[in-house]
A and B are shown apart, each in its own frame.
Chain A
Amino acid sequence: MRSARYRGSGINREASPLRAGTVPYVSILAGSLLPVLLLQADVMPLAPPLGYIMLVAWRLMRPGLLPIWAGVPLGLFDDLVSGQPIGCAVLLWSLTMIAFEYLEQQVPWREFWQDWFTAGLAIVMYILAAMALSRATVSPALLLAMLPQIVVAVVLYPVFARLVSRLDLFRLARTRRIG
């Protein structure tokens, strides 16, 4: 059943190149946009940085799919909508991509637990760095208020990893009729 869905229904089908190329980017852009629009969290930062989590998930689950420099355009879009100073996500997302590229050379074969650990570490560091760069006055109260967001982001990573694998099936579904 699963393989049938993956392959599509006929022998004369192939994956649409447009879909294969755009799904990761569209899902990351949507991730940047969703917390801004869907959640009215005006009293404290509550939503996990979905755009960043999607980027990390795509990068860890599908190495080589996003080019190393993908953090620049995607981060710029995130900066435009997230309320952070422009350049914050461009810098942090690029550094993340470089770090993961290096990590992958050291540890090419990993289990999901290791990926979760890596992603969790990256997310915690990203949230704290973004807070430091946001020009907010860092106080113990603010740090305490960030805590739920950090916990939610790390705990929810497997959900987003699953979502990315579903999106990957969708991305490679053989729907285009040839011949």
Chain B
Amino acid sequence: MAPPSSRRSGFSKKAQYSVFTGYLLAALGALLGAGLLALSYWQPGSFAPLRGAASDAVTPVGEVPAAARTGSQSAWDVVSGYFYAGSQNARLREENEIARIRLAEAEAIRDENRRLKALLDLAKGEVEPVATARLVGSSAASARRFAYIGVGRADGLKPGMPVRSPRGVVGRVLEVASGSARVMLLTDSESVLPVRRAGDNTVAFAEGRGDGLLRIRLINLGLNPLKKGDVFVTSGAGGYYRPGVAVAVLSELTPDGGLARLIADPSATDFVSIEPIYEGEAVAASRVGGENELTEQELKE
């Protein structure tokens, strides 16, 4: 459709000025955008209250589609279940056998653990979650991978707290508003998580790639000891996550580690629990920079 004739200014001074003002405002708007962008690069937290207010307003709306989404997922599972019932039955029976054996082994290990922990006087019980919530939204159109949850500062959330589903780690809290919070998922390309291979102590970093896979980068380079199917759990380094929570399964080998699939796929996750920061002191200590070192006085205390 061609522009209406009123947009062609012709010789009318008034119309020319109004067109000019439009261009001017748009150019100023673009400059404003560039300025805001520079500010949010320079001080990423500066717009947190504004964004928090928006997500506070939006997340209650998100609860409804989130519930519906879970419902429709399970309906689809029921339908697809009919097609795979036979082969699945055989496979499950086999898995069940193996699981029983592993369970017996795990019980033995638990006994041993209890003994050793009693020896060390290191009675650390189950971690009580700060809150449980539904994932109500995600940055589906952006290159970053964030999710939104409907609990916030009022429920005791703080930035940095780990978010997990019953299967494993999902991500960690990035920004907190009074009634909602933004979670950086493990698959975000800025997310780095210290992990170790379950079973031995091969330590590595799990970095998000932005496409749903994690890149496992070994810390000790040399011979790559990894195999497909290796399970990685949190190592507890850094102090945010408690050790031993499942993270990913290795699916592909690379020279410096491998690519891993998430165990707790967020899109299949209904409820998540937010846990307290594992070792708050360690996290606080890592934030002490060169310019604000402790004084002699504080060190003595």
Contacts and interface: CB of A to CB of B under 8 A. Distances in A.
Contacts of A55: none
B140 A139 contact: no
B128 to A, nearest CB: 26
B50 A95 contact: no
* Residue from B136, B185, B267 whose CB has the most chain A CB atoms within 10 Å: B267
Given A71-B29, A91-B34, A47 B141 contact: yes
A94 B136 CA distance: 30
* Residue from B38, B40, B148, B190 whose CB has the most chain A CB atoms within 10 Å: B40
Contact of A145 (B37, B182, B210): B210
Contacts of A133: 37
A109 B141 contact: no
Interface stretch (B54-62, B154-162, B222-230): B54-62
A83 B182 contact: yes
A72 B33 contact: yes
A155 interface: no
A36 B30 contact: no
Interface in B12-56: 22-23, 25-30, 32-41, 44, 47, 50-51, 54-55
Chain A interface size, under 10 / 10 to 19 / 20 to 34 / 35 or more: 35 or more
B119 interface: no
A108 B47 contact: no
Contacts, number: 212
A37 interface: yes
A8 interface: no
Main secondary structure of the interface of A (DSSP, over half): helix
A37 B58 contact: yes
A64 interface: yes
A76 B28 CA distance: 14
Given A40-B138, A85-B40, A86-B37, A45 B143 contact: yes
Contacts of B136: 37
Nearest to B146: A83
B144 A81 contact: no
Contacts of B7: 63-64
Contacts of A33: 58
A82 B146 CA distance: 9
A55 B285 CA distance: 47
A141 B144 contact: no
Given A40-B135, A42-B145, A82-B141, A137 B37 contact: no
Interface residues of B, number: 65
A80 interface: yes
A85 B135 contact: no
Contact of A63 (B4, B141, B213): B4
A138 B49 CA distance: 28
Contacts of A71: 26, 29-30
B36 A141 contact: no
Given A80-B51, A80-B54, A87-B37, A142 B209 contact: yes
A144 interface: yes
Contacts of A136: 143-144, 188-190, 210
A43 interface: yes
B266 A43 contact: yes
* Residue from A38, A46, A50, A133 whose CB has the most chain B CB atoms within 10 Å: A38
A47 B294 CA distance: 48
Given A85-B40, A91-B34, A94-B26, 12 more contacts: A36-B138, A47-B141, A63-B3, A69-B22, A77-B54, A79-B36, A83-B182, A101-B23, A108-B2, A135-B41, A135-B190, A141-B213
- Listed from nearest, the 3 A-B pairs whose CB atoms lie closest are A87-B36, A91-B33, A83-B139
Interface of B: 1-4, 6-7, 22-23, 25-30, 32-41, 44, 47, 50-51, 54-55, 58, 61-62, 65-66, 69, 135-148, 182, 185, 187-190, 209-213, 262, 265-267
Interface of A: 33, 35-50, 61-64, 67-69, 71-72, 75, 77, 79-95, 97-98, 101, 104, 108-110, 130-131, 133-137, 139, 141-142, 144-146, 149
12 contacts: A37-B137, A40-B135, A41-B140, A44-B212, A67-B25, A72-B32, A79-B36, A89-B33, A91-B30, A93-B33, A137-B189, A145-B211
